[in-house]
Amino acid sequence: MTMVLVIDVGTTSLRAALVDDTLRITDIEVRPTPPSTPFPGLVEFDPADMAATALDAATAVLSRATAPVVAVGVANQRSSTIVWDRSTGEPIGPGLGWQDLRTVMECITARSEHGLALAPNQSATKLAWILSNVPEAAGRDLCFGTVDSWLAWTLTGGAAHVTDHTNAAVTGLTVAAATAWNDRVLHALGLPAGVLPEIVPSSGVIGSATALPGAPPLAGLAGDQQSSMVGQGCVRPGSTKITFGTGGMLDTCTGATAPASAHRCEHGTFPIVAWSRDSGLSWGSEAIMLSAGSNVEWLCDDLKLIDSPAASHDAAASVPDAGGVVYVPALLGLGTPSWDYGARGTLLGITRGTTSAHLVRAVLEGVAHRGVDLVEATEADTGTAIDRLRVDGGMSANPTFVQALADLSGRPVEVSPVAEATTMGAAFLAGLAVGVWDDIADAEAMWRPAQVVEPVDGGRPGERDRWADAVTRAQGWIPELSALDF
């Protein structure tokens, strides 16, 4: 038996895990890494603390390894932005989280003056902001990176300044084919090319992780959603997963053909690099739900209708349906397909007989409806039929929610054996690079869902029609935000 070490950095926590050659997690350390919000719309984190925490957690699991650790893989939150001094390795200021919105005006300016379609959740304008506004940036030899770059630098003792194609492609800084940095964007934003990392394959040996005991090879880097795709075996065209965490991300494999454009498609999805190897890039399509599990947290933390997210299943299952109540989960607006930032959460159909259980069930079903929206948009943009869904994330443990997703989509839903399939995907990409597995197709062959939930109501088409009407009512609530287009 051999093992792969994975460092999986999310938005609020990081995990270091050992994964064996059957793609089973055998040991894991979880550490909190919460970002800070000094003002509304600003999301920052401490890169030095992130690096130290990652090394500490990784060292802890390595000390308990019962078989040789042959590779290290990294999965990470995407587009979060870090700048550090090349000679000292010290960050010049806080990292800017992917949720940080301080560069909204810069994105609007980039579109109006340069015709660039950039979004504030991408790295491009975050990097420009740091270089222009952090005094410590002046006159220094600097490195820019996303979280994968920062961890690769940390693990290799500064020997590797790299990022992989999955992370590079969502920074807003690459050409459409994601194979090189985009000189036009760099020129428009005044960014020096010398700060950028080398773009390397997602699966391939980068160097020795000398910061760890035994210095195993760093052999895999991938963004979290792409790692989740691979971890759930979505490696052939049409195979699709949805991660239902705080938000929701649908990712489907589209194959080896590069898209004609890197921009948002007609029905609100985006092309992504699914993974890359020395042999080339594989592509996918991504659809986004801005709020998923956060709606259940709202039921707990703010409305006090349930004691915990897990309790939402029992509450919802206590009633046969939502009693005519429809909930549109637009707490932060609507992503795919409409991208309406001014839409807001909406409850419709409340009567004197509506109970808290009806509201809880309506919230779960509303998130399931949004999941089906993502499926339909992806099919429309890619021209590829999606015949079944694979799901991970916290909400995948909720039986009422998963059954609603199966019923409303009319498709079987396969539930991941672990809530965070990102870890398994990063392990597979790293292990593939060093010969633990032979081919990317092995990821699908090794997929073993915890359960398969079949639809029982034939897709509930009448409810989908009513859902579409509810979404229309939720849209445009804050016209100024609805007018924004990134």
pLDDT at position 169: 96
Q: Tell how strand 198-200 and strand 280-289 pair up.
A: unpaired
pLDDT by position in tens, the chain (length 486): 999 999 999 998 999 999 999 999 999 999 999 999 998 889 999 999 999 999 999 999 999 999 999 999 999 999 999 999 999 999 999 999 999 999 999 999 999 999 999 999 999 999 999 999 999 999 999 999 999 999 999 999 999 999 999 999 999 999 999 999 999 999 999 999 999 999 999 999 999 999 999 999 999 999 999 999 999 999 999 999 999 998 999 999 999 988 888 889 999 999 999 999 999 999 999 999 999 999 999 999 999 999 999 999 999 999 999 999 999 999 999 999 999 999 999 999 999 999 999 999 999 999 999 999 999 999 999 999 999 999 999 999 999 999 999 999 999 999 999 998 999 999 999 999 999 999 999 999 999 999 999 999 766 778 999 999 999 999 999 999 999 888
d(CA 95, CA 45) in angstroms, rounded, equals: 5
pLDDT at position 259: 87
pLDDT at position 363: 98
Q: Do residues 486 and 79 make contact, with C-beta atoms less than 8 angstroms apart?
A: no
CATH fold match for the domains 3-224 and 233-415+456-486:
yes
pLDDT at position 457: 72
The residues facing 121 across adjacent strands are: none
Q: Count CB atoms within 10 A of the CB of residue 215.
A: 15
pLDDT at position 458: 65
Write down the residue that tokens 């100024």 correspond to.
Answer: 480
Q: Tell how strand 217-223 and strand 69-76 pair up.
A: parallel
Write the DSSP string, 438-486: S-TTHHHHT---SEEEPPSSTT-HHHHHHHHHHHHHHTTSSHHHHT---
Q: Tell how strand 346-348 and strand 326-328 pair up.
A: antiparallel
d(CA 95, CA 465) in angstroms, rounded, equals: 43
Token pair for 206: 């980068």
Considering the segment(s) 3-224 as one domain, its CATH architecture is: 2-Layer Sandwich (3.30)
Spatial neighbors of 123 by CB under 8 A, at least 6 apart, are 79, 80, 81, 144, 146, 170, 171, 172, 173
Q: Would you kindly state where each structural domain of the chain is located, as residue ranges?
A: 3-224, 233-415+456-486
Number of residues that make up the chain: 486
Q: Do residues 218 and 205 make contact, with C-beta atoms less than 8 angstroms apart?
A: yes
d(CA 121, CA 101) in angstroms, rounded, equals: 7
d(CA 464, CA 368) in angstroms, rounded, equals: 11
pLDDT at position 438: 96
3-state secondary structure of 70: strand
Q: How many Å separate Cα 166 from the centre of its chain?
A: 11
Token pair for 37: 């919000």
d(CA 321, CA 96) in angstroms, rounded, equals: 42
Q: Which amino acid is at 332?
A: L
Query: Domain spanning 233-415+456-486: which superfamily?
Result: ATPase, nucleotide binding domain (3.30.420.40)
Enter the pTM of the model. 0.95
Token pair for 393: 């994330």
Start-end of H helices in 283-398: 293-301, 311-317, 356-382
pLDDT at position 247: 92
Token pair for 276: 């890359």
